[in-house]
Structure 1
Amino acid sequence: MPNYTENTVSTIRKNILLVLLPYLLDSTSLNSKLRSFKAFPYGLLSLATYLKRQIGNSLNIEILDCNFNDGRDIISVIKGKLTEFKPDVVGLSMMFDNSYGYLKDISITIKKYNKDTIVVLGGAAATASYASIMAEQENIDGICFSEGEIPFLRMLNSKNMLDFVDKDVSWITRSSLREGRVPKKTLVENLDDVIAVDYGFIDTSSYAMGEAFSPFAGQMASRKQFFLLTSRGCPFKCTFCMRSADDDKDMRYASVKEIINHLRFLVSEYNMNVLTIYDDQILLDKERAKHLFRELAQFNFRIECPNGLSVAFMDDELIKLMRDAGMDTVFLAIESGSPYVLNELIHKPLKLKMVKPVVKTLRKHNFWIHGFFVSGMPGERDEHRDETVEFIKEVGLDWSGFSLATPSRGSELFKICIENGYIRRDMGVAELDVNKYIINTPEYTPEYVAKKTYTMNLDVNFVNNYRMKHGEYRIAADAFMDVIKRYPNHAFAYYYLSKSLYALNKDREAQLAMENFYEIKRKDDMWKEYVKYFNIS
């Protein structure tokens, strides 16, 4: 592990408070892209673990997750922690734009408590909007650009932390912006240094982790679920990705040996039995992926990769290794069934002809097959969206998740939308709602695209559900019940659950589901419209 402590100038104990800003939304929103459950603050855990191991006992670190407030308002929670802990440095984490509305009041509260407390900000959303944030937030002393482990460590080890932040290449300040300095990333090159996250910084029992959508999920009597990030980076430049304007396409990996050692500890310490791997490109190094899944088989985990996998790297051997390791559901990052949209609008190097053979192999190994698709890219027309629907039916996916294109700051899509007037040029940080489609092109209104996309969802997942068509009613019913658990007022889920249960000779349960369908339809004009559109009797 590299040592950045040699220039430490003081052994005075520092109190470091790492704060995760609120991000939770209503879990019943049909369009929510954000987590509706309390997920481990993995980024802050990684940062805290790295700092503690590098600096040791001269550092006292606590993590405050503002998504836990015990019914109190957020400012009361912050004030209580400031009084109790007396931090020298507060690091605020902003992963999503919807957290921005809390930033001003929280930073003011910290500075009112002690004007000498250093307040810094990090996280993906902060990196993407650093100039606007520094202009608007006078109580933020600096913003960390990209990864935070090494920049934060160097700040803590400096003679004067504020002076260091003002001069370091990976920190953004008002001074650096005035001088026109372009921030640069300082990355952890060896991910073995950060793979063994210390969960002792939080109360793991307070977190209600959620498995990704699948009829095979939620079947363990006692679920002990943990996250893992075994690699960082992505070599691709999908237009909608907030990293698409980043020229750094290098990949970094943790060694399989260190991953397995960490998992053994989690099993021993926490009885872990569900592993969620959040890598963007877990399969890119195919031989490493095969090695990893061979080793994972020893644990008898249920494994999921909800960020999506590329069909380009899947072969029969890898798919079997994934299944043997404990993966029963696969999420395929396909994005579109239209070659034009993939190549010209998204810039994703995927050949659609590769998908069907991979789906066939996944089917052979008894996977639930879920495809990811993006709708509403500028330049996409209805014929392209119809092409996607036909592609899904033709290749035989079990389920398809549709996301409406979001022009996230930092993405090529954001630049395209600004340059062409598809979104407002003066849109503030907090105004970009990832759960609302806002791209307004001359061809289509946002409302039209959102409705068209939801119709696609109902078509392939309910009206023409793959498992229903192939007589696999038990699995179909479990999928519809998972939908209802997440969205209790989903009329189509109740209707097709009823159809599945009737086919399983569960007449009483089927009747109750149908009664729920009629009751929801009676109260909601939206569902009446979709029932009429699909001619459901």
Structure 2
Amino acid sequence: MPWQMVYTEFYFEEDHLPDMTPEKLREAILDYSRRRRRFGGKDKVRHFQFKPEVVAISMMFDNSYRHLKKISALIKKSNKKTVVVVGGIAATSSCATILKEQKNVDGVCFYEGEIPLLNLVNSEKMLDFLENDISWVTRKSLREGRLPQKSLIKNLDEVVNIDYSFVDVSNYAMREAFSPFADKIKQRKQFFLITSRGCPFNCVFCTHSGDKDKSMRYASVEAVIKHVKFLVSKYGMNVLTIYDDQILLNKERAKEIFRRLAKFNLKIEVPSGLSVAFMDEELIGLMRKAGMDTVFLAIESGSPYVLNEIIHKPLKIGMVKPVVQNLRKHGFWIQGFFVSGLPGERDEHRDETVKFIKEVGLDWSSFSLAAPLRGSDLFKICAENNYIQKGIKIGEFDFNKFIINTAEYSADYVVKKTYLMNLDVNFVNNYRMKNKEYKIAADAFRNVAARYPNHAFAYYYLSKALKVLKKEKESHKAMSKYKEILKNDVSWREYAEYFNLIYNKQ
């Protein structure tokens, strides 16, 4: 769903959607083109052409940087007077580098961009404005040693009521949740919502860890529910995806939101992960009644040492099991998020995590390899200790590859160890299989096979589940696929041998 595009329209246009019809849009463009300060023409002349005065480029992650030079050069080639600015968390963390290396970039936005960009667009002389505004970093501000400041929207009610009539919403849908319940709704009419901003915590791998501002901002419950009501009545929304980082932090507010969402009969997803520390039985019940059937718990590690001394996450590991038991009682599919490969984490800590997952009884565990994002404390630790390539430049990260090498463990070793953890808890010792809930287990394994068609263990355990369900033909087909993959892939044969599966018969 093009949330960012319609959000931008909402924030920068006075005539908001849905009042903005195609005819009004065309007239707005023509009106814009007649402004003297924009194109220098006479008021009655219509310049219906695309020569933007400013182009803003979003750069959320390092790997976007490799495209910046070409894109900014093409913009300037088209019209050298066009002001080119860059924003996003990766840009904020690398202002000086971007301005040094990218001659076609005029300024970098410091943190959130709505207010700085709106002020820039409304200024009479954009380049002069860039040089003097507190939220823009330029070559001049760097030379003068001026420190940028954030310009934040304080009242999030102003930016909640996004409308989508500018686009054909039927063209957009996402399958966010990995869950056997994910396909309950066949025709998803999915929309997105962010009801809060900020995070008070200091997890080492997060880009927010380098930010001293730990404040939170919230949209009011009334504004949230009003927008949900509009999306349901206008578009028939049946899936609401909430992308807050900390939706549960204000527990009473969260309870009221979920309490009032229940009447809309929606499927609710919160894929960013929920904090166990704020979940009590009342909240869990309200979440279920609101339409949630899958939860993602941001646990990160089953080792208290890793949580407290390495990640700096304020989670007491003993909190998790009671929460999981309450979630289980309400019929949730329970998935945990874990991070592996942090400097200082040892094999005994990873083994502790595997043991913890089995004891707590998670339905599924998602393992991420630690990524030293620029701006995070993890990046500083890795750079200072040469755990990553010395002098690695912005844009040289390959986020599909684990790059942290320590004296104790190579990157290749950690990758393999982490994948063995995944196979162990999600397949070999799958919670639903252990508890003889074979239908749900089979649905989960089908989900994996659909996403990863050459996943041998998905087919092996799908076959096992189907056999118990007396679906012999399907079971045989899945086992045949498993054997075919093993025949052609040495890596899967090694994994099968490791878990003593290769010689097992159906």
Same fold (TM over 0.5): yes
Does residue 305 of structure 1 match 2:266? Answer: no
Equivalences for 1:206-225 in 2 at 5 Å? Answer: 206-225=171-190
Determine which of 486, 494, 499 is the counterpart of 1:534.
Answer: 499
Does residue 389 of structure 1 match 2:347? Answer: no
Match of 1:236 in 2: 201
CA-atom RMSD, angstroms?
1.8
Equivalences for 1:10-25 in 2 at 5 Å? Answer: none
**Deviation sequence 1:142-176 (CA, Å, 0-9, x none):** 11111111111111222211111111111111222
Does residue 399 of structure 1 match 2:360? Answer: no
Match of 2:387 in 1: 422
1:47–1:148 CA contact under 8 A, matched in 2: no
**In the TM superposition, what is the alpha-carbon distance from 1:276 to its structure 2 partner?**
0.7
**Deviation sequence 1:212-239 (CA, Å, 0-9, x none):** 2111002212111111100000000000
Hey, what's the Cα distance between the residues in 2 that align with 1:175 and 1:44?
31
List structure 1 segments (4+ residues) > 4 angstroms apart after TM superposition. 54-61
Match of 2:327 in 1: 362
1:211–1:218 CA contact under 8 A, matched in 2: no
Match of 2:149 in 1: 184
Does residue 487 of structure 1 match 2:452? Answer: yes
SS of structure 2 residue aligned to 1:169: coil
Hey, what's the Cα distance between the residues in 1 that align with 2:95 and 2:154?
24
Give the TM-score normalised by structure 2: 0.91
2:466–2:472 CA contact under 8 A, matched in 1: yes
Does residue 157 of structure 1 match 2:122? Answer: yes
Determine which of 27, 44, 48 is the counterpart of 2:9.
Answer: 48
1:375–1:403 CA contact under 8 A, matched in 2: yes
Determine which of 223, 227, 233 is the counterpart of 1:258.
Answer: 223
Determine which of 104, 129, 140 is the counterpart of 2:105.
Answer: 140
Hey, what's the Cα distance between the residues in 2 that align with 1:455 and 1:143?
42
Hey, what's the Cα distance between the residues in 2 that align with 1:136 and 1:404?
30
Give the TM-score normalised by structure 1: 0.86
Equivalences for 1:494-509 in 2 at 5 Å? Answer: 494-509=459-474
1:44–1:93 CA contact under 8 A, matched in 2: no
2:295–2:332 CA contact under 8 A, matched in 1: yes
Q: 1:150 to 1:163 in 2, by over 3 A?
A: same
**In the TM superposition, what is the alpha-carbon distance from 1:83 to its structure 2 partner?**
9.3
Match of 2:76 in 1: 111
Equivalences for 1:428-443 in 2 at 5 Å? Answer: 428-443=393-408
SS of structure 1 residue aligned to 2:299: strand
SS of structure 1 residue aligned to 2:288: helix
Hey, what's the Cα distance between the residues in 2 that align with 1:529 and 1:176?
57
Name which of structure 1's ranges 431-440 and 91-100 shifts more when overlaid on structure 2. Answer: 91-100
**In the TM superposition, what is the alpha-carbon distance from 1:209 to its structure 2 partner?**
1.4
**In the TM superposition, what is the alpha-carbon distance from 1:84 to its structure 2 partner?**
5.0
SS of structure 1 residue aligned to 2:226: helix
**In the TM superposition, what is the alpha-carbon distance from 1:503 to its structure 2 partner?**
1.0
Hey, what's the Cα distance between the residues in 2 that align with 1:201 and 1:88?
22
**Deviation sequence 1:94-125 (CA, Å, 0-9, x none):** 22322222211111111111111111111222
Hey, what's the Cα distance between the residues in 1 that align with 2:167 and 2:81?
27
**In the TM superposition, what is the alpha-carbon distance from 1:343 to its structure 2 partner?**
0.4
User: Which is higher, the Rg of structure 1 or of structure 2?
Assistant: 2
**In the TM superposition, what is the alpha-carbon distance from 1:350 to its structure 2 partner?**
0.2
2:456–2:482 CA contact under 8 A, matched in 1: yes
**In the TM superposition, what is the alpha-carbon distance from 1:48 to its structure 2 partner?**
2.8
Q: 1:189 to 1:458 in 2, by over 3 A?
A: same
2:188–2:239 CA contact under 8 A, matched in 1: yes
* Aligned partner letter, 2:257: L
Match of 2:374 in 1: 409
Determine which of 299, 305, 313 is the counterpart of 1:348.
Answer: 313
Name which of structure 1's ranges 85-94 and 464-473 shifts more when overlaid on structure 2. Answer: 85-94
**Deviation sequence 1:297-322 (CA, Å, 0-9, x none):** 01111111111101111111100000
Q: 1:163 to 1:271 in 2, by over 3 A?
A: same
2:225–2:260 CA contact under 8 A, matched in 1: yes
* Aligned partner letter, 1:246: D
Hey, what's the Cα distance between the residues in 2 that align with 1:172 and 1:44?
24
Match of 2:300 in 1: 335
* Aligned partner letter, 1:525: V
Match of 2:44 in 1: none
Q: Which runs of 5 or more structure 2 residues have no equivalent in the other structure? A: 30-46
Q: 1:241 to 1:60 in 2, by over 3 A?
A: farther
Name which of structure 1's ranges 120-129 and 478-487 shifts more when overlaid on structure 2. Answer: 120-129
* Aligned partner letter, 1:42: W
Name which of structure 1's ranges 40-49 and 376-385 shifts more when overlaid on structure 2. Answer: 40-49
2:90–2:375 CA contact under 8 A, matched in 1: no
Match of 2:92 in 1: 127
Match of 2:289 in 1: 324
Match of 1:283 in 2: 248
Q: 1:270 to 1:85 in 2, by over 3 A?
A: farther
Match of 2:135 in 1: 170
2:310–2:342 CA contact under 8 A, matched in 1: yes
